[in-house]
Amino acid sequence: MSPTIRFNDGKAIPQLGFGVWQVPNEGANAAVTAAIEAGYRSIDTAAIYGNEQGVGDALAASSVSDIFLTTKLWNSEQGYDSALKAFDASLKKLRRDKIDLYLIHWPVPSRDRYVDSWKALIRLREDGRVASIGVSNFQIAHLERLKAETGVVPAINQVELHPRFQQKELRAYHAKEGIVTEAWSPLGQGTLLQDPVLVALAKKHNKTAAQVILRWHLDTGNVVIPKSVTPSRIVENFQVFDFKLAPEDISEIEKLDSAKGKIGPDPDTFA
Ligand code: NAD
* Assessment of whether the complete model's pTM goes beyond 0.95: yes
Atom in ligand 1 nearest the alpha carbon of residue 45? 34
What is residue 28's predicted lDDT score, i.e. its pLDDT?
97
Q: Tell which one of 52, 68, 142, 187 to mutate to probe ligand 1, the residue whose CB is within 8 A of the most ligand atoms.
A: 187
Q: 190 vs 8, 40, 81, 269, CA distance in Å? A: 32, 20, 38, 25
Q: What averages of pLDDT result for each successive group of 10 residues across the chain (271 residues)?
A: 97 98 97 98 98 98 97 98 98 97 98 98 98 98 98 98 98 98 98 98 98 98 98 98 98 97 97 91
What is residue 21's predicted lDDT score, i.e. its pLDDT?
98
Rg (CA), the chain: 18
Q: What is the ipTM of this complex?
A: 0.98
What is residue 208's predicted lDDT score, i.e. its pLDDT?
98
What is residue 269's predicted lDDT score, i.e. its pLDDT?
96
Q: Tell which one of 23, 44, 138, 184 to mutate to probe ligand 1, the residue whose CB is within 8 A of the most ligand atoms.
A: 184
With beta carbons less than 8 A apart as the criterion, state whether 55 and 28 touch. yes
Catalytic residue at 80?
no
What is residue 94's predicted lDDT score, i.e. its pLDDT?
98
DSSP state at residue 137: S
User: Please, what are the domains in the chain?
Assistant: 4-189+220-227 (3.20.20.100)
Residues with Cβ within 8 Å of residue 187, at least 6 apart in sequence: 162, 193, 210, 213, 214, 226
Residues with Cβ within 8 Å of residue 130, at least 6 apart in sequence: 87, 98, 99, 100, 101, 102, 121, 124
Nearest to 22 by CA among 158, 240, 185: 185
Atom in ligand 1 nearest the alpha carbon of residue 20? 32
Cβ–ligand 1 distance for 182 under 6 Å, the answer no
